[in-house]
Structure 1
Amino acid sequence: MSKKILKIKFYKYHGNGNDFIMIDNLNGTCDELSKTDVKLLCDRNFGIGSDGLILICKSENLDFEMKFFNPDASSSFCGNGARCAVAFAQFLGINNQKFKFSAFDGTHEAFLSDKKVTISIQDVQEVKEINGDVFVLNTGSPHYISYDSSLLDDFVEQARKIRHSASFLPEGINVNVVSEIDKKTLKIKTFERGVENETLACGTGIVASALSYLYKNNIHGNSSIHVISAGGELLVQTDYSKNKGFENIYLTGNAELIFEGVFDV
């Protein structure tokens, strides 16, 4: 018997060039979407093409559940994906301006103002300093932050070696190179695991870069850091103290619909 073909409506969103396939799964239609399906849909040559796929699912106690898949079908939290998910949830009429939703790493809050979406990030208590220029921390996904500009030479190849290095096996790690433009502005380049390439932006990497900068420079209290990636600028806000670490972390930026369509599975 031949497999039944389902026609699935999708929407393509991006947050600072970080692009995602968004699917309304409130009725559970795509619960059985396979890893093979996810990989094909995210493929830029044979599928729709994206940095990830997101299902908006029903939640009993919150506005929605966000299920995120990398192009290799692995799961993690995705900051820009979460911002796009909130914009999509508003489009679906789930709520208007304020949201609470669950994701891979727990519950998040979000709100919209004009075209900008702000999401909360889980508190970060630990920043591991490898040396004065390299830091490792988890902002919903693990990140290697380096202030060594020599990594920009043949960036993808050098980042891939770090991502697969023995120190970070078996899960691997996202790799970021950060530079200071001024005391309130950073520039970042990111290699994302799961995508296995450089991306135009990475929300959790941008948050990790801002937190590492505050930690590195011993800057306490409330801070707002602008971080510029190849895809544009995002704002990170947080409170930092040595006793409590990083609290009240928020990520803000645009999230926009690009196009919509239908695919068969």
Structure 2
Amino acid sequence: MAVSFIKMHGLGNDFVVLDARTGALPAIDQTLASALAHRHTGIGCDQLIVLEPSGVADLRMRIFNADGTESPACGNATRAVGLLEGRPATIETLAGILRTEPADAGIAVDMGEPQFDWQAIPLAYAMDTLALPVGWEHLDNPVAVNVGNPHAIFFVPDCDRVDLARLGPLIETDPLFPERVNVNVATIESRQAIRLRVWERGTGLTLACGTGACATAIGAMRRGLVDREVRVTLPGGMLTIGWGTDNRITMTGPAVEAFRGTFEPERFRAAEPGNGG
């Protein structure tokens, strides 16, 4: 059975999108998801996105990381799905219902309300999430924010000089974070601008992370480092993040459809997991 897919990306954070609303799909498990994500033997992506009918929204979105684990939310993927819909839409996710609509700069997404309680991150034990009293080498005192996914944000003089490929997996899997964590290193450039790099749990270094941009902006706002609307520049490009007086986060940025194709699921069932990136 040939299965259709759409290859998309948001600032280089790339996805393979499968739409169960337009045709039957095989059962998606960790093995198949990671095999499709593999850069050398699969289609290649940071996340596999599965679209399904929803009883509470216009559609349901499931998100599988490159290692096959399922993730509650993905900001860049939400913009990509918003682009496919081409109109204002509500999207059911494990993190709640997200709303998208076309905007001058691409797709605007209502990412909901940030969570700051230590149990909501979650952390292994109680501590102040505005400045966690912990550190890994020269990275210390991060802000912790949950915006559908858990994030730890370190503010540093120059995020490009941080060896995130080495420190990212150490922090991601630290026992302090029972559900693992996304690791963000950010440099404040002005009251309206942040430069950011992200180690994404279950994926690794990524060109862009929408929830990471949201969490970093909110962390910087909580510390009084930036205004309530800020530009976040990642290796793949720029997002605009706003935190309204209603406590809701709006993320605006581009999304792109790259190409469409088909694959035979049985060819991937025996593939080795991993992204190989």
TM-score (ref. length: structure 2): 0.83
**CA distance 1:31–1:118, change in 2 (3 Å):** farther
SS at match of 1:217: coil
| 2:47/2:63 contact within 8 Å kept | yes
Q: Distance in 1 between matches of 2:158 and 2:262?
A: 44
Cα distance in 1, alignment partners of residues 213 and 58 from structure 2: 26
* Structure 1 partner of 2:199: 191
Conserved in 2, the CA contact under 8 Å of 1:115 and 1:255?
A: no
- What is the CA-CA distance between 1:158 and the residue it aligns to? 1.1
Partner of residue 79 from structure 1, selected from 75, 95, 105: 75
Are residue 47 (structure 1) and residue 42 (structure 2) matched?
yes
Distance in 1 separating the partners of 2:208 and 2:164: 15
* Contact kept? 1:133, 1:148, Cα under 8 Å: no
In the alignment, which residue of structure 2 is the partner of 1:119?
Answer: 109
1:68, 1:140 → 2: CA distance? 12
2:214 is aligned, of 202, 207, 224, to 207
Q: What fraction of aligned residue pairs are identical, expressed as a percent?
A: 28
Q: Helix, strand or coil for the counterpart of 2:68?
A: coil
- Matched residue, 1:166: 175
Please report how far the alpha carbon of residue 239 of structure 1 lies from its aligned counterpart in structure 2 after TM superposition: 2.3
What CA deviation, in whole Å up to 9, does each residue of 1:104-126 have, x standing for no partner? 11111110135601111121242
**Displacement, 1:89?**
2.8
The counterpart of 1:139, out of the listed 126, 137, 147, is 147
Task: Give 1:31 shift.
Answer: 5.5
Q: Partner of 1:88 in structure 2?
A: 84
Q: 1:247 & 1:168 partners in 2: Cα distance? A: 25
1:107 partnered with 2:97 = yes
Count of residue pairs the alignment pairs up: 245
1:67 to 54, 62, 69: 62
Q: CA deviation at 1:172?
A: 0.8
- Residue in structure 1 matched with residue 25 of structure 2 by the alignment: 30
Cα RMSD of the aligned pairs, angstroms, is: 2.0
Query: Is the partner of 1:191 in helix, strand or coil?
Result: strand
Distance 1:14 1:156 in 2: 22
What amino acid maps onto 2:152 in structure 1? Y
Q: Which residue of 1 aligns with 2:230?
A: 225
For residues 188-230 of structure 1, give each alpha carbon's deviation from its aligned partner in whole angstroms, at most 9, with x where no partner exists: 00000110x210000000000100011011778xx21100000
Letter in 2 for 1:233: M
Does the Cα contact within 8 Å between 2:7 and 2:15 map onto a contact in 1?
yes
Tell me if the contact between 1:149 and 1:177 (Cα under 8 Å) persists in the aligned partners: no
Given that 2:103 and 2:252 are in contact with CA atoms closer than 8 Å, whether structure 1 keeps it comes out as no
Residues 138-166 of structure 1: CA distance to partner in whole angstroms, max 9, x if unpaired? 01100010013477432210111111112
Q: TM-score, normalised by structure 1?
A: 0.86
CA distance 1:85–1:134, shift in 2 (3 Å): same
Structure-2 change in CA distance of 1:181 and 1:155 (3 Å): same
Q: Which has the higher strand share?
A: 1
